[in-house]
Amino acid sequence: MRIVWMLLFLIGCQASAQEIQPGAERTDLYLSQLEGKTIGLICNHTSTVGELHLLDFLLNNKLAVKRVFSPEHGFRGNADAGEVVADQRDPKTGIEVVSLYGENKKPRADQLADLDVLIFDIQDVGVRFYTYISTMHYVMEACAQNNKPLFVFDRPNPNGDYIAGPVLKPEFRSFVGMHPIPVVHGCTVGELAQMMNGEGWLENEVACDLTVVPVANYTHDMPYSLPVKPSPNLPNDQSIRLYPSLCFFEATSASIGRGTYFPFQVIGYPDERMGDFQFTPESIDGMSKNPKQLGKLCYGVDLRTAPLDETFTLKYFLDFYHKFEDKSEFLTRERWFNLLAGTDELLKEIRAGKSLETIEKGWQKELDAYNTIRKNYLIYPDFN
């Protein structure tokens, strides 16, 4: 069953001068439905209602939160990328926190048995390989398989004003890409959840009993500045906007600023031919414990003042790729690159020397087909 309070959303949109209001803050739409229920939360540090964490807000309203499930980076959002997050108890409330980023990425039946309803509330950045949407996928599957209803408290997408990049092929499905969507997919998590249900993307094409609490006063062409950084190495609007373009460097020997206070805003390598800008990655608690090129002076480019309206591009990757005489010295994790791309065709095109324009034009047919599907699940006015 799919429930979206479209009428209430449209009423909210009439007052366009009002501030954007995330689903979690539209308390009149969900508090009464949670009374008397035992609740499980899928949340992290971005799950806020005003100045309060969602967990604290629900407890203050005398609701019975039994268990918290946390994604990559942990409940408090301070674990490094890829770092295994252990189960624990929240020191403030004593509530059990179950990690969904480690051995178990999907809630088990025994972890859901004593719950009446689950709530997913995590700020996403609108990029296929950002793993919060993979966590949502597994939560939806678990809910469907165990007959548990799921509320998704929707939030704006800071990269929701366009779609771009290659569409994932099934053979490259992984936790950094589980769905046939482009690198920049142009959906909020609520819209994506509807798409996962409607397109039969969950295991055995099951459908989750889904309720989306929509954002008020939001359209896809609106810029949105996140009030809380979504993960340790996306500290500001600039890093979030550059993230889809620079993440491909994670498969290379080049640094994109992990180990600095401006990650995903610079590119460098210990070679003066890479550019005039200089930085040295260091170990920083809560951000990067062992970054690439640790302690080495890197030369490259500073993108901290790049236009915020810039969209996904391969131009930075191609620029560095062509500067390396030995390509294997640059591209050190070919399989990882292909998983991020969602296909091996992109790397083949790069190696064949195809131009940026030719490569990007090659995505258009798949993007058009995807966008036709996407429009069936939109909750908010689109960017075109």
Domain with 29, as residue range(s), is 2-226
274 in the same domain as 178? no
Cβ burial, residue 376 (10 Å; 0-12/13-18/19+)? exposed
pLDDT: which is higher, 194 or 75? 194
Q: DSSP for 223-268, please give it.
A: ----SS-SSTT--SHHHHHHHHHHGGGGGBSSB-STTSSSTTSEEE
335 in the same domain as 217? no
220 in the same domain as 251? no
CA atoms within 13 A on the CB side of 41: 29
User: What pLDDT, on a 0 to 100 scale, did the predictor assign at position 84?
Assistant: 53
User: What pLDDT, on a 0 to 100 scale, did the predictor assign at position 73?
Assistant: 62
Q: Is residue 350 part of a domain?
A: no
Whether residue 55 has pLDDT greater than 70: yes
The mean pLDDT of 316-344, rounded to a whole number, is: 98
Q: Is residue 355 part of a domain?
A: no
Cβ burial, residue 2 (10 Å; 0-12/13-18/19+)? middle
211 in the same domain as 260? no
At residue 74 the predicted structure's pLDDT band, cuts being 50, 70 and 90, is low
- pTM above threshold 0.85: yes
Query: What is the helix (H) or strand (E) element at residue 338, kind and residue range?
Result: helix 334-341
Please write the tens of the pLDDT for every residue from 86-107. 667 888 889 999 999 877 899 9
What type of residue sits at position 304? R
Beta bridge partners of 277: 300
User: What pLDDT, on a 0 to 100 scale, did the predictor assign at position 16?
Assistant: 41
At residue 62 the predicted structure's pLDDT band, cuts being 50, 70 and 90, is very high
Q: Is residue 384 part of a domain?
A: no
Whether residue 21 has pLDDT greater than 60: yes
Q: Is residue 363 part of a domain?
A: no
31 in the same domain as 113? yes
Whether residue 65 has pLDDT greater than 60: yes
251 in the same domain as 219? no
From residue 351, how far is each of 181, 232, 252 by CA, in Å?
24, 33, 15
Q: Is residue 377 part of a domain?
A: no
User: What pLDDT, on a 0 to 100 scale, did the predictor assign at position 2?
Assistant: 39
User: What pLDDT, on a 0 to 100 scale, did the predictor assign at position 15?
Assistant: 37
What does the block give as tokens for 372? Answer: 């036709």
User: What pLDDT, on a 0 to 100 scale, did the predictor assign at position 81?
Assistant: 46
User: What pLDDT, on a 0 to 100 scale, did the predictor assign at position 363?
Assistant: 97
176 in the same domain as 54? yes
Please write the tens of the pLDDT for every residue from 251-286. 999 999 999 999 999 999 999 999 999 999 999 988
> For the domain that residue 221 is a member of, what is the CATH number?
3.40.50.12170
260 in the same domain as 206? no
142 in the same domain as 121? yes
Please write the tens of the pLDDT for every residue from 231-245. 999 999 999 999 999
The mean pLDDT of 298-321, rounded to a whole number, is: 96
Whether residue 308 has pLDDT greater than 80: yes
What does the block give as tokens for 167? Answer: 């569409």
Whether residue 350 has pLDDT greater than 70: yes
User: What pLDDT, on a 0 to 100 scale, did the predictor assign at position 5?
Assistant: 36
**Structural domains of the chain, count:** 2
- Tokens 């798949």 locate to 366
Q: Is residue 231 part of a domain?
A: no
CA atoms within 13 A on the CB side of 47: 24
Helices (H), 50-188: 54-60, 109-112, 132-145
User: What pLDDT, on a 0 to 100 scale, did the predictor assign at position 145?
Assistant: 97
Q: Is residue 171 part of a domain?
A: yes
The mean pLDDT of 139-153, rounded to a whole number, is: 98
**What is the layout of strands, in order, in the sheet containing 150-153?**
2-4, 210-213, 150-153, 117-121, 38-43, 64-70, 96-99, 88-89
What type of residue sits at position 203? E
Whether residue 152 has pLDDT greater than 90: yes
Count of beta carbons in the 10 Å neighbourhood of residue 36: 8
- Residue 333 CA to residue 12 CA, distance in Å, equals 47
The mean pLDDT of 102-131, rounded to a whole number, is: 95
User: What pLDDT, on a 0 to 100 scale, did the predictor assign at position 71?
Assistant: 85
Q: What is the largest CA-CA distance in the chain?
A: 65
241 in the same domain as 133? no
User: What pLDDT, on a 0 to 100 scale, did the predictor assign at position 7?
Assistant: 35
